[in-house]
Amino acid sequence: MVFVVFVVELFWLRLCCLMNFRFTKAERLTLKKEFERVFQDGKVLKDAKVVLYVMANSLPHSRLGLVVSKKVGNAVRRNRAKRLLREVYRLNKHVLTMHVDMIAIPRHPFSSDLKRSDVEDGFKKLLLKINEAFCP
């Protein structure tokens, strides 16, 4: 029994080493013109907690931008929303089969006691919709 557990742990360790779970600066939308381009020309996908604006890009990786309105709450809540969305993207970006630019906007009220798993379920569904929308 212990051997089976060891083999499973070794499998996941190797799988995690092959995947890149970092969120580098190159994977971020930073320029105003990039945000404007995605807002104007991108597709809109909605979930109960997040709205995504998505547009294909020609880069070798996907990029994420975050926009958090003051309607979400005070600075503490806005920063928590950004941290949650960055973390959910970082852990699930491997689901995407296309390289896209996306802007994530948390819907208000974005509760401060919201768990990552709550946001992650809806975000994964949106990523799968992106694959369906942009894959030939």
Give pLDDT, residue 22. 87
What tens digit of pLDDT does each residue of 29-47 get? 999 999 999 999 999 999 8
What residues does each domain of the chain span?
Answer: 22-134
CATH match of 22-134 with 3.30.230.10: yes
Asked if 27 contacts 89 with a C-beta cutoff of 8 angstroms, the reply is no
Banded pLDDT at 60 (limits 50, 70, 90)? very high
**Start-to-end C-alpha separation, the chain:** 45
pLDDT at residue 53 greater than cutoff 90: yes
